[in-house]
Structure 1
Amino acid sequence: MTRSSAMNPAIRKALDKLGLLRDIDLVLHLPLRYEDETRITPIAKTRDGQMAQIEATVVSNEVQLRPRRQLVVVVEDGTGQCQLRFLNFYPSQQKSMAIGAVLRIQGEVRGGFWGKQMVHPQLRKSDAPLPTSLTPVYPVGKGLPQAYLRRMIVTALHRTRLQETLPEPVWRAIGPPPVLAQPGLSDVQRWWPLQQALQFLHHPQPEVAIQTLEDQSHPAWQRLKVEELLAQQLSQWRVRQLREQFAAPALTPVRQPGQLALHEQLLGQIAFDLTKAQQRVVAEIAADIALERPMHRLLQGDVGSGKTVVAAMAACICMDSGWQCALMAPTEILAEQHFRKLSDWLSPLLAARGKQVAWLAGAQKKKAREHMLALVQSGEAALVVGTHAVIQENVEFDRLGLVIIDEQHRFGVEQRLSLRDRQRSKNASATSAAEATAAGTVSEAPTALADSVQTAQSEALEPHMLMMSATPIPRTLAMTYYADLSVSTIDELPPGRSPVVTRLIADSRRDELIERLQHQVSQGRQAYWVCPLIEESEALDLSNATATFEDLQAAMPQIQMGLLHSRMPAAQKQEVMDRFSAGELGILVATTVIEVGVDVPNASLMVVEHAERFGLSQLHQLRGRVGRGSAKSACILLYSTGDSGKLSDTAKDRLRAMAQTNDGFEIARRDLEIRGPGEFMGARQSGAALLRFADLEADQHLLEWARELAPLMLRDHPHLAEEHMQRWLGGRWDYLKA
């Protein structure tokens, strides 16, 4: 598609936002719903709530001033009357609806005291021919008129001739797609050619059963879902193939005579034994990073399952192999928690080897930061822990072998690509320098040249990558969006974790809750009180952290409290956390800055205010801050029904799920059901190709078929596979490779 330079900027912006850059993008932009303009319905046969098209004569036309200024037009067609109301109108509109005018009118019919009526219906000339197909209604953006988009899509459909990328020889090896198993239909009826399916879905015939379009069970819809799922699976398998072309350091510990390996020393240093799940996962990671291809592994486990010690074991294996490890976390509080814990465990062990743990964060003073950068560049810092500061351009690693990213979904794809690509570029520069040095000695020692070049090539490596998430990934989501990853799961909690009782309490009982909280804290327990906002907001009438802190101080003056939010200076935040960890503060009022990483075993109470505003996985993360000690723990979800007096269905589903289960995997499954894959993954910032048509649960049979076909198609029909991916994914390759 070639866009006109004279195209309205608002339209161009809306098209860009919808990703409509090519003709094929327009062709794959399918309707949300359809309107039936192919028939005229007598007024007497219209039903309340029905979208209907009538043809009638204007019998009255007047502007009413009460209860507000509006144009009221009455029409009749011989079977009955209908009132048309226009709250906003122009004189020209009023003139076009003069008494005696015959109009074709489409809108939602409403029944009321004054009889049938339509509010702001669409008007057309009565002599225009009726369409022969249903009228599509597309998703549009601001500045993009529905009629304009319809014309663009019709043009794109005429210009686009799609080659079949799924002829029968491609899928014969694994059997026919599941859509061919539908009973009562011939193969021709079930397996629609792609071009025919798209033409039909944009302009279906009026006799089609609307239900099959709405529930997407129609064979044309099934064909589109198969196409989309196959493109998604092909892209993931192709990314895995591309990654396997790169080389990575084989990380195997170098053992000194009579000395335990670093990870073995760590096991003797910590005061607990690894669970069987942790041992299994450590073995999976160790086997992966021992290979000379980049590991790309997701480590998932429920809140409190012990992912940090697994990451520490992986870091030890990396450092014991003579390479550096970087651990990056999304917030300074979480990164600081990791740094303190890993320093306690590893600093004494690394000191004996002349190495240390370095800290990098944006709030560091210049002198301290320069010192840390020098340690990283020289290789003396074997482990580097920090925030986004770890991937800034002035950070130069000596030999980076492993990157660990905690809460990986909180980082954008560009940030992950930055760390990996800059290290690959640095290694390539090291290769060129080594080759140049080797070339300078070629006349003296031919064998030295070969050895030097071989060494240089071995250094042109990219680091292994381990991504951690406390939001477990449901199986269907892992099959779809993480098909290119190896997944390790810690599926058991360490002994001693006390179960957390979850209670739902209405905001009207707030005073009663404060009274109970005061009693519990006076007995030596500690509590979190989480609010959704930092300061007062005119847009949202929600309790905010600052005001809540002041209110709770006034209600419980004898209890020491702290306030924590993201806008506080780093030193002040750390001081508050240190005091809370030491037991000096009974209550910590905070925003979701404490969502991940905060570990205070004596804190056994969690209050989440306006819990109906939080996502399910976020509520589960917050609940995971308690139950880390031996005391019985509770999480109170304080909800408000607002002016309406009732919760939305989505809020009810979230809160009900939290009260019914502590299982993070079940929470994740329900969260996926409620929010869908895009929201669940934070995919707006991840750049991942979202499923627009297929449903992970309802279409699992199609997903499994596509997953089986994808590697065979890449192997046996690579050109068709490439065309299929380009058709569906366009220019999103860099994101998919991250």
Structure 2
Amino acid sequence: MTAADPNHRQGFKELLPLPLSIADAVGGLLTAPHWMGLALHLPLRFEDRASITAMDSLEVGKKVNLLATVVGSEVQYHPRKQLRVWVEDGDTTLLLRWLHFYPGLQQKLSEGTRIQISGQIRQGYGTFEMVHPTVKIAPPGTLDETANQTAPATNSNAVLEPVYPSTGQLKQSDWHRWMKKLPPECFIDTLPANLCKKYKLLPWSTTLQTLHGQANPRELYDLNLRTHPAWTRVKVDELLAQQLLLREYRQQRTQEKASPLKALKTSKTSLVRQFLAQLPFKLTGAQERACQEIFEDLARPYPMQRLLQGDVGSGKTLVAALSCLRAIENGKQAAILAPTEVLAAQHHHKLTPLFEAVGVRCAKLQGAMKKSEKERTLKLLAAGEIDVIIGTHALVQEHVEFHALALVVVDEQHRFGVAQRLSLIAKANDGHLAHQLMMSATPIPRTLAQTYLSDLAVSNLDEKPPGRKPIVTKLLSQKKRSQLVSAIEGEINKGQQVYWVCPLIEESETLDLQAAQATYTDLCEQLPTRRIGLLHGKQDNKLKQTTMAAFAAGELDLLVSTTVIEVGVDVGNASLMVIDQAERFGLAQLHQLRGRVGRGSVQSVCVLLYGGPLSNTSKLRLKAMHESDDGFFLAEKDLEIRGPGELLGKRQSGLPMMRYADPLTDKDLLELARTLAQQMPPNADNTRRHIQRWIEETPWWLS
């Protein structure tokens, strides 16, 4: 049963639905509409409303807790309706004002009533005042007059008051009332006591009691900084739920069926060996390791799910081609899924001659193809007369059928959602799933990979082919833009080619296009004797492919482009990359664009052209780019700058993001969660209970 199965959930009472009165009131504020979802709606902060400040020591702007006696009240109707209540303690008087109040409040605050008051001191007309303070009747035995106090007093039985995330319609008192109704099952610990003791974790019951209103005022600092042991336990439990879920996915995948793709023993029948023999160079050590890891996975009878990540120019495409050949020499088909028409066309252009040299039939499938050509390709694919199909999202469409699909290669896997990738691997026949190799030139930081992608096996290409020189990165102000034209002229005179990438304007593709066209016109005027091309996303696919082919063939000296050339475009003769208004781009995208040069033996340069003033984030990005061309290092920097929520969204991982734990700052807790996961038996009640408490609905791809 899955976490989404309501019948299974009823075995744990804390996972029963909330009463309608509470569920309707909280709306979408909770991540799950059951009692545990309410229990895990934890405070934003804590306030000390027990330490009483003397009335004669009030200061404007300070948040204080007071004890005073009501000496009068009135409802004032002009200039607007408001309730005004005067309180005093000793010789000091304070005005309390409510612009919105319920009818019984004035009666509740009758003259002579002793009340506790919490709020911020403001300067009123001739007196101090509080607007919309929190008040409650002081319990019997509360401290008497405080006029003679010189320091705040504290009730020894007092506790901190939690302040919950809420909306204008809900009062904090509503949340406090609901939290008191939590059933005892919410406090049951899913971790064995011996593990809590071994790793010095607070018991779960103590954790919830502390966070929901049983904390001592002395703990205020640690609770608000979220360094308190109760917060540590919450973060560990959240990370643990994620690790247990991913382990479950790994285990479930081993129960699925896939065609085992084994190595052929003779070199005459092995396409992999024939392919390697025709290459004019040797694989790097990293490529050899990656191939070995992939081949071992492909030989198993359950689906491979491996991420091949490597820096730009590290040779991922060649490893993918060898993986495809392993499928084909076993009598199966392979598909390569690319995010853009330009990249799909380039893969087809580069790989077709290499595949054909060993007798492999390669074709492409793109949305822009003529209907007759597309129908013919689909017919050949279904008949098994195409070995490798290279395409865009067109491959995912329902009417696309394969004869014997066994491997899917997804290039730039973060550009595709989980559902898209899985719909393609499900096109294998006989109830099998295809093996899946995902590629990324944007390395995923190790911390994020452990948190969100630990169900994947990862192969890293951390070497570049020999002979390639590091790309020199220069920062240049827009004020010196004219100097760039001379540099471009110099590169072209040496027989090299140049990219000029126009600024990213997120709000509008039209503005993107206008910027590219304006730059193209400007450069044509400044370099009238040079062959300059323009490439952007609004062009029809045939024109884009023609322009790109002309640049690749050396028929253009300079290519002005939008970010359509960001991924995979490979022109070895291009040695200068200009990124206009570089401050508008993300760090990963800047690195991707820079990787379009440096693919030959000539020294390449990337110029980051920036305007001002720069934000702190932009400064950090440009500084990192200037200091390093290591994609793995830059991935970690990008995580520091952007944080995990933006860097790796739910659409890519298929998993919910963390609410309380931060993989960047809680690395030690992540390691602890991974250790704990190994000690919690799969399918045990406590293991299932733990996952279901934290993850409202098991992702459909686990069900």
Q: TM-score, normalised by structure 1?
A: 0.78
Counterpart pick for 1:162 among 169, 187, 191: 187
- Which residue of structure 2 aligns with residue 607 of structure 1? 578
Q: CA RMSD in A?
A: 4.4
Q: Deviations over 1:663-721 (max 9, x none)?
A: 11111112222222232223345322323222335433332233233233225x72211
Q: Give the one of 243, 264, 284 matched to 2:253.
A: 243
Partner of 1:349: 358
**CA offsets, 1:490-537, max 9 Å, x none?**
121111222112222333433444454444445443222223446985
Q: Which residue does the alignment assign to 2:223?
A: 213
Residue segments in structure 1 that go unaligned for 5+ positions in a row: 66-70, 181-190, 429-460
Partner of 1:631: 602
- Of residues 261, 271, 282, the one that matches 1:273 is 282
| Distance 1:8-1:692 versus aligned 2 partners, 3 A rule | closer
The corresponding residue for 2:633 is 666
2:587 is matched with 616
Q: Identify the residue that residue 399 of structure 1 maps to in structure 2.
A: 404
1:703 to 656, 670, 676: 670
Is the alpha carbon distance of 1:205 and 1:5 closer, same or farther for their aligned partners in structure 2, counting shifts above 3 Å?
Answer: closer
Cα distance change on mapping 1:370 and 1:727 into 2, 3 Å: same
Aligned residues: 660
Q: 2:619 aligns with which of 652, 662, 667?
A: 652
For residue 324 of structure 1, report the CA deviation from its aligned partner. 0.8
- Correspondence list, 1:9-24, <5 A: 12=27, 14-15=28-29, 19-24=31-36
* Shift in alpha-carbon separation, 1:312–1:422, aligned structure 2, 3 A: closer
The answer to whether the Cα contact below 8 Å between 1:605 and 1:635 also exists between their aligned partners in 2 is: yes
* 2:639 and 2:664 in contact (8 A); partners too: no
Shift of the 517–685 alpha-carbon distance from structure 1 to 2, 3 Å rule, reads same
Give the conservation status (yes or no) of the 8 Å contact 2:504–2:512: no
Residue 166 of structure 1, CA deviation: 0.6
**Selected match of 2:367 from 359, 362, 369:** 362
Contact (CA 8 Å) 1:297, 1:485: kept in 2 or not? yes
Q: How does 1:274-423 map to 2 (within 5 A)?
A: 274-350=283-359, 356-423=361-428
State yes or no: 1:682 paired with 2:653: no
Any idea what the Cα deviations from partners look like across 1:537-564, whole Å, max 9, x if unmatched?
Answer: 5999999334333343344444333332
Alpha-carbon distance between aligned partners in 2 of 1:393 and 1:260, rounded to the nearest angstrom: 34
Cα distance in 2 between the residues matched to 1:21 and 1:385: 44
Task: For 2:430, give the aligned amino acid.
Answer: N
Deviation at 1:369, TM superposition (A): 0.9
How far the C-alpha of 1:374 sits from its partner, in A, is 0.8
1:720 to 1:732, Cα distance in 2 relative to 1, 3 A: same
Tell me, yes or no, if the aligned pair for 1:298 and 1:488 is still in contact at 8 Å: yes
Report the CA distance between 1:622 and its aligned residue: 1.5
Which piece of structure 1 moves more, 355-364 or 302-311? 355-364
Relative distance call for 1:90 and 1:538 in structure 2 (3 A) is farther
Distance 2:400 2:659 in 1: 39
Alignment of 1:428-577 (within 5 A): 428=431, 461-533=432-504, 544-577=515-548
Distance 1:551 1:629, change over 3 A: same
1:237 to 1:156, Cα distance in 2 relative to 1, 3 A: farther
Following superposition, the deviation at residue 396 of structure 1 comes to 0.9
Q: 1:45/1:329 Cα in 2 relative to 1: closer, same or farther (>3 Å)?
A: farther
Runs of 5+ in structure 2 lacking a partner?
A: 1-15, 143-154
Between the aligned partners of 2:701 and 2:164, the Cα distance in structure 1 is 27
The answer on whether the counterparts of 1:533 and 1:542 sit within 8 Å (CA) in structure 2 is no
Which residue of the partner structure matches residue 430 of structure 2?
A: 427
Task: Render the CA deviation track for 1:215-262: whole Å, top value 9, x for unaligned.
Answer: 422111111122122212111111111111122211124567x72511
Change (3 A) 1:267 1:145: farther
Identify if the C-alpha distance between structure 1 residues 35 and 531 changes in structure 2 by more than 3 Å, giving closer, same or farther. Answer: farther
Shift of 1:214: 3.6
Alpha-carbon distance, 1:137 to partner: 4.1
- Whether the 8 Å CA contact 2:45–2:164 is kept in 1: the answer is yes
Distance change (3 Å), C-alpha of 1:82 and 1:269: farther
**Separation of aligned partners in 1, 2:46 and 2:24:** 28
Q: In structure 2, give the amino acid aligned to 1:427.
A: D
CA distance 1:562–1:314, change in 2 (3 Å): same
Are residues 334 and 107 of structure 1, via their aligned partners in 2, closer, same or farther at CA, if it must alter by over 3 Å? farther
Q: Any idea what SS the aligned residue of 1:713 has?
A: coil
Task: For residue 426 of structure 2, give the secondary structure of its aligned residue in structure 1.
Answer: helix
State the 1:148 CA deviation.
8.8
Counterpart-to-counterpart distance in 1, 2:216 and 2:340: 55
Report the Cα offset of residue 52 of structure 1.
Answer: 5.0
Which residue of the partner structure matches residue 640 of structure 1?
611
Q: Are residues 554 and 192 of structure 1, via their aligned partners in 2, closer, same or farther at CA, if it must alter by over 3 Å?
A: same
Sort the Cα spacing of 1:279 and 1:133 in 2 relative to 1 into closer, same or farther, 3 A.
same
Give me the whole-angstrom Cα distance separating, in 1, the residues matched to 2:588 and 2:474: 17
- What's the counterpart of residue 439 of structure 1? none
